[in-house]
């Protein structure tokens, strides 16, 4: 072998190769306002980070840091575990994600026997937390699809109707009265969701239910409000234009 072949050439060795972690953000690709954005982001997920074509929370974390920068904080800000006497075992969590550039995204999710497969329903608070984190991350990524953890094989609409019928029958026997005042867990959920959506709670109940929050909101009205806040209003912000402007003192 010619010993002069590599003369003057600096060879990299394990000692002089930079193996440190670098904070790099992908800058190529469409803008978040482009119509191609959603498909572009979904194309960044590995097959193992998808379930039935929907992103898993772990994959959302990785892709969020790839596109938006390092996550400096990801934590629950409010946790509402099932309360004593709660027959459906509903747990609700509000989750907040903070990126290195200071941008903050948060969302809320719940878990109960009607919207969660039995395998995960027993871990209702943990499942609600994972769902809420996934919702916050996909909001940050501006994704139009839901996270895999938000899905269930159960017929939620049928379960809700069944529970409503059971409550109505119980009410005739004096065991359940959905005309009584809304519970504290209901009020806390409504407050958190209205804060997130920037909804004036008092104006919302007045316009939609003709109810005065300073006097009495029934359990039934609160239940219907929760369905709206977590469903239609979450998907279509144009529905809330008549009662925007959150105020924290609505229960005083």
Q: What is the pLDDT of residue 251?
A: 78
Q: What is the DSSP letter of 216?
A: -
Longest dimension (CA), the chain: 99
Q: What is the pLDDT of residue 176?
A: 45
Q: What is the pLDDT of residue 223?
A: 83
Number of other residues whose CB lies within 10 A of the CB of residue 17: 7
pTM above 0.75, yes or no: no
Closest CA to 160 of 104, 215, 230, 82: 230
Backbone phi, psi, residue 204, to 5°: -60, -50
Coil vs helix vs strand at 92: strand
Closest CA to 187 of 160, 216, 209: 216
Q: What is the mean pLDDT of each run of 10 residues along the chain (252 residues)?
A: 47 44 66 93 95 94 96 95 71 95 94 82 89 96 92 67 53 52 84 89 88 82 83 76 88 75
Computed over its alpha carbons, how large is the radius of gyration of the chain?
A: 24
Q: What is the DSSP letter of 70?
A: -
Tell me the C-alpha distance between 137 and 141, whole Å: 6
Tell me the C-alpha distance between 89 and 121, whole Å: 9
Contact between residue 95 and residue 60 where contact means Cβ atoms under 8 Å apart: no
Which pair of structure tokens corresponds to residue 37? 């954005």
């Amino acid at each position: 072998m010619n010993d002069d072949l590599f003369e003057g050439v600096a060879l990299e060795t394990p000692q002089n190769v930079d193996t440190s972690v670098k904070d790099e953000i992908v800058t190529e690709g469409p803008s978040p306002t482009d119509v191609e954005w959603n498909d572009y982001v979904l194309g960044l997920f590995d097959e193992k980070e998808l379930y039935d074509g929907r992103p898993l929370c772990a994959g959302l974390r990785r892709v969020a840091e790839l596109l938006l920068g390092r996550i400096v904080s990801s934590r629950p800000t409010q946790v509402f575990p099932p309360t004593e006497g709660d027959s459906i075992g509903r747990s609700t969590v509000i989750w907040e994600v903070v990126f290195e550039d200071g941008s903050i995204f948060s969302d809320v999710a719940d878990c109960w026997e009607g919207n969660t497969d039995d395998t995960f329903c027993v871990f209702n608070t943990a499942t609600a937390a994972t769902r809420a984190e996934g919702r916050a991350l996909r909001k940050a990524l501006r994704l139009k699809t839901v996270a895999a953890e938000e899905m269930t094989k159960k017929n939620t609409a049928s379960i809700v109707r069944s529970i409503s019928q059971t409550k109505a029958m119980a009410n005739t026997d004096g065991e359940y009265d959905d005309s009584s005042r809304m519970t504290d867990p209901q009020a806390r959920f409504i407050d958190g969701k209205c804060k997130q959506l920037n909804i004036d709670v008092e104006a919302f109940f007045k316009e939609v239910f003709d109810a005065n929050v300073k006097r009495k909101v029934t359990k039934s009205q609160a239940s219907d409000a929760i369905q709206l806040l977590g469903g239609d209003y979450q998907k279509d912000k144009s529905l809330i234009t008549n009662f925007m402007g959150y105020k924290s003192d609505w229960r005083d």
